[in-house]
Every structure is written in C-alpha cells, then in structure tokens.
A and B are shown apart, each in its own frame.
Chain A
Amino acid sequence: SQKIEQNSEALNIQEGKTATLTCNYTNYSPAYLQWYRQDPGRGPVFLLLIRENEKEKRKERLKVTFDTTLKQSLFHITASQPADSATYLCALINDYKLSFGAGTTVTVRA
C-alpha cells in the first residue's frame, strides 16, 4: 500500500540552528512533491514545490531536496527562528490529488 512517512518525533531546536525534516514514501512515483506549513487551528499553507528532475530547491531560509531513488525528500530550515515553530507537511501530487504525510511539529526555542 502507499505510505508517506515523516519524522514521527517532534523536533525541538535552538534558535539559529538548522532543522531537518524527512519525508519518505513507498509505492508512489510522484513527479512533484510539495511542502506545507500548518499552524494550530489553521489550514496548511504552501511553501515549496520540487519536481522529480530537480535535486534541490531553495526559498529564503528553506531548502528542499528530492531523491527519487531513495524515495525521500528532506526539508531544511536554516537559521531557525521561534516564528518557524509549526507543523510541516509533505505532500505528493498525483494529477490534482494531494496525498499528505502526518506532519512533523517543529518548536524553535529562543
């Protein structure tokens, strides 16, 4: 069956450090992968999309990698700030349908 697994543990890091989140998938062959941020009581907000032929994508302090051989995406938040505290979701795209992981909650301590 198809599975999308993200870090099962919440991530607690010190301000200024880099947070690295993992998204592993099985029985999918996605051409695209997206990362979203979700704050408590709110809907997910789109952050980045990466294509299968792109190894790495950056947006400000965010960096995403996509390894279709390992079936894995890594999401990095560099120079983390308390305002980065949220749950981060990876999503695989099949045509129009998004399939989401359960998310990883990141807490950045000042």
Chain B
Amino acid sequence: GAGVSQSPSNKVTEKGKDVELRCDPISGHTALYWYRQRLGQGLEFLIYFQGNSAPDKSGLPSDRFSAERTGESVSTLTIQRTQQEDSAVYLCASSWGSGHQETQYFGPGTRLLVL
C-alpha cells in the first residue's frame, strides 16, 4: 500500500516568506508526527497529533511554527517569516497508535532552503 507522502519534496524560499509543508499519512494511522533534521544532526521532534488534536507541541521551536491536521488525515506544517536557520529537512511520520511499541513510518521529507 501507499506509504507516507510529503510535498513539496524541495522548497527554496526567501527569508521572511511563509511556507506550508504537507504530509499525507498512511490511511488509518491515527498518530502523526513532525520532525526536523538539520544537516549532520539527529531528528528533532516538533509536534505530535493523535487524531486531529495535538497533545504535544513542545518541540515547536518558536511561535512562527504551527501545524494542523484535518479529518484524521492530512497535516500541514506552516512556518511564518522564515529564517535561514529554518533550513532543514522536515520529516513526517505516522503510526497506528501512539504506544511504546508502535512503529513510526516516515515520509521522504521536504528539503527546505531559506535564502
């Protein structure tokens, strides 16, 4: 079946512009996660959705970052007034549930470059 998909695959933007990154999770997966991966670094947790609600937004770096999820499906991560330090790969993952043993399935990521 289809895996997690993300769009766009690459995004180049100018500093100060807003960007929207999209994630389509695996159908039926109730949990959805956003991570950020900077060059040479590990993945950083950003936000977690269970259904359409986000019980944990603790990883969002600043109030310029927001995310929503609709219909227990698609999620959008929005970065307002982008800064050069926002340049990274943004990865989305989904899982059936959110227990300790649930496997998270990752999308290919969106490579964001802020000039």
Contacts and interface: CB of A to CB of B under 8 A. Distances in A.
B26 interface: no
B101 A41 contact: no
Contacts of A96: 31, 33, 48, 50, 56, 95, 98-99, 102
A97 B91 CA distance: 14
Interface string B77-115: 000000000000001010100111111111111000000
Given A31-B100, A95-B98, A96-B98, A43 B93 contact: yes
B42 A45 contact: no
Q: Which among B43, B99, B103, B107 has the greatest number of chain A C-beta atoms within 10 A?
A: B43
A22 B105 CA distance: 23
Interface string A51-77: 000000000000000000000000000
Interface string A10-51: 000000000000000000000110000000011111100100
Given A98-B43, A100-B42, A102-B41, A43 B101 contact: no
A102 B40 contact: yes
Given A43-B106, A46-B105, 7 more contacts: A4-B42, A42-B109, A43-B93, A46-B103, A49-B101, A95-B100, A96-B98
B115 to A, nearest CB: 21
A39 to B, nearest CB: 10
Given A31-B100, A43-B93, A95-B98, A100 B43 contact: yes
Contact of B42 (A42, A49, A89): A89
Contacts of A95: 98, 100
Interface string B1-38: 00010000000000000000000000000010101000
Count class of interface residues, chain B: 20 to 34
Where chain A touches its partner, the secondary structure class is strand
Contact of A93 (B50, B93, B100): B100
Contacts of A98: 33, 35, 43, 45, 104
A43 B36 CA distance: 11
B104 A32 contact: no
Contacts of A49: 101, 103
